[in-house]
Amino acid sequence: MQRRVQPTSEAVRAANRARVVDILRRSGSATRAELVSGTGLSRATVSSLIGELADRGLVSELPQPAADAPGRPPTRLALNRAAGLAIAVDVGVRHVAVAVGDLSRSVLAERWVSLPQGHSAERGTHIVMRSIETTLAEAEADRDQIVGAAISIAAPIAPDSGRFLVPGVLPGWNGSELAELIGRTWGIPAAVENDANLGALGESVVAAPPGGDPHGQDLLYVKLASRVGLGIAFGSRGAFGSRIHRGHDGYAGELGHVTADPDGPACWCGRRGCLELYAGAEGMLARLAARGIRIDDVNELIRRAEAGDADVLAVIGDGTRRLARSLGALALVLNPSVIILGGELTALGPLLLDPVHAELAAVPFGAPVAVRTSTLGPRASLMGALALVLSESSRFTDQSSAPVAANPGRVTAPAAAPSRSLKSPSHPSPSRPSL
């Protein structure tokens, strides 16, 4: 008896292929069983799509880890560099960092450069562009392989315009102009995002081991540096990995401007007594200066705290208690699985962690909220920028969206990216066997 074959249009197949690729981008790697459950497609369809992607050099099997238990662990699949490369840029007050990674989350090259004090925006932009060029060269990246760039900025950003809301941070810099320049130069989509949001996304990737909870974490990342920022990354049922929660019009996470004392000092945001005036390093230094104690920077603040300076300890103790109370309120409202503390002030160690632990242990409902310092440390926002290109795949295209050509060595560019020609893989990864 002849088997009845259901006709499958290329559009349906392309949509199914995009679902497989999307899960691989979000999760870094997946087994065939995870792809079947994640897409809802049949095992045969998933196998056929994986075979097609492998034939085009876009997907590889990951090397098997040494098995502790008897029985062969299921093979994990990942996108390889032929599927696309992502550029991550982190612009801080004193540094520029650039990473180039593939869509399986492997970092191929990473570069950190100091920003000179009092630099002009023009000079800073030049340093960013040169750093990207050098890092791409170190990664031996083919220009046509780049699918997008995400730029982390250590400042509150107006979501509609990409402009910075604090004039004093990175004077003259404009987030959207930098993104446009990067996008234009390399012919790719480029997005700018707040560093705390990206810190949350970066930590959510590290917190999710391969084969771990496919729905992602409900995670809060609190950046404690000159100012106080909050990134919220939520997991969701039926979707792999966590997503940044930006709120109604993009301003979610302005924890630094929750009122800690309505009669407190004036804040740049126009209100009084905002939390970051007490719990951020700049605010702590200002409070000490008001008492006639001049401390130049965060490092000296931490040194004086470690040395037991009573005035410094009093200001830090007051700030961390106010922060802890706000985090306790956040835990009640949002019920996160973990709160991660990042930024320079995490060097305070127990002076910071103890009051936060105590406050969260007193939350009356649910399992105790885990609190820890950032696993990625200063790299959290940079790794989050890479993760953004992977997790928001609708904003950043990849080679798998190209239609299959008769000659697999020459593939036509999709209509969505007419200016780019797509090539067959030019850098097969030697460490990963092909399927």
DSSP annotation of 272 reads B
DSSP annotation of 296 reads -
Residues 6+ apart with CB under 8 A from 314: none
Tally: H helices and E strands in the chain: 12, 15
Output the CA torsion sign for 394, 55, 38, 27.
negative
Q: List residues bridging with 153 in a β-sheet.
A: 91, 194
Q: For Zn ion, give the closer residue by CB, 267 or 363.
A: 267
8 Å CB contact between 62 and 238: no
Q: For Zn ion, give the closer residue by CB, 193 or 276.
A: 276
Q: For Zn ion, give the closer residue by CB, 195 or 276.
A: 276
To the nearest whole angstrom, how small is the minimum distance from the Cβ of residue 398 to Zn ion? 40
Q: For Zn ion, give the closer residue by CB, 271 or 410.
A: 271
To the nearest whole angstrom, how small is the minimum distance from the Cβ of residue 57 to Zn ion? 51
The only residue of 158, 267, 286, 313 in contact with Zn ion, by rule CB under 5 A: 267
Residues 6+ apart with CB under 8 A from 210: 27, 28, 29, 76
Q: Sheet containing 190-194: which strands, arranged edge to edge?
A: 107-114, 95-102, 85-91, 146-153, 190-194
Chain-centroid distance of CA 433 in Å reads: 28
To the nearest whole angstrom, how small is the minimum distance from the Cβ of residue 154 to Zn ion? 17
Closest by CA to 287, choosing from 257, 269, 264, 263, is 264
When asked if residue 269 is in the footprint of Zn ion (CB under 5 A), the reply is yes
Q: For Zn ion, give the closer residue by CB, 112 or 251.
A: 251
Q: For Zn ion, give the closer residue by CB, 140 or 261.
A: 261
Contact stretch for Zn ion (CB under 5 A) within 4-12, 232-240, 255-263, 412-420: 255-263
To the nearest whole angstrom, how small is the minimum distance from the Cβ of residue 240 to Zn ion? 36
3-class SS shares of the chain: helix, strand, coil, % to 5: 40, 20, 40
Task: Provide the strand spans (E) within 164-310.
Answer: 190-194, 219-224, 228-235, 242-244
Task: Outline where 139-194 has alpha helix (H).
Answer: 175-186
Q: What track of x and - describes contact with Zn ion for positions 81 through 120 (by CB under 5 A)? A: ----------------------------------------
Measured CA to CA, the distance from residue 27 to residue 53 in angstroms comes to 17
Contact stretch for Zn ion (CB under 5 A) within 160-168, 270-278, 357-365, 426-434: 270-278
* Exposure class string for 207-240: b at 16+ Cβ within 10 A, else e: bbeeeeebbbbbbbbbbbbbbbbbbbbbbeeebb
To the nearest whole angstrom, how small is the minimum distance from the Cβ of residue 259 to Zn ion? 8
To the nearest whole angstrom, how small is the minimum distance from the Cβ of residue 227 to Zn ion? 9
8 Å CB contact between 102 and 389: no
Q: What track of x and - describes contact with Zn ion for positions 359 through 398 (by CB under 5 A)? A: ----------------------------------------
To the nearest whole angstrom, how small is the minimum distance from the Cβ of residue 228 to Zn ion? 10
Contact stretch for Zn ion (CB under 5 A) within 40-48, 169-177, 227-235, 254-262: 254-262
The only residue of 119, 223, 243, 257 in contact with Zn ion, by rule CB under 5 A: 257
Contact stretch for Zn ion (CB under 5 A) within 36-44, 251-259, 296-304, 320-328: 251-259
When asked if residue 274 is in the footprint of Zn ion (CB under 5 A), the reply is yes
To the nearest whole angstrom, how small is the minimum distance from the Cβ of residue 313 to Zn ion? 25
When asked if residue 322 is in the footprint of Zn ion (CB under 5 A), the reply is no
Applying CB under 5 A, the site for Zn ion has a residue count of: 4
Contact stretch for Zn ion (CB under 5 A) within 16-24, 67-75, 273-281, 372-380: 273-281
To the nearest whole angstrom, how small is the minimum distance from the Cβ of residue 277 to Zn ion? 7
Q: How far is CA 378 from CA 71, 112, 117, in A?
A: 39, 11, 19
- Which residues in this chain contact Zn ion in the complex, by CB under 5 A? 257, 267, 269, 274
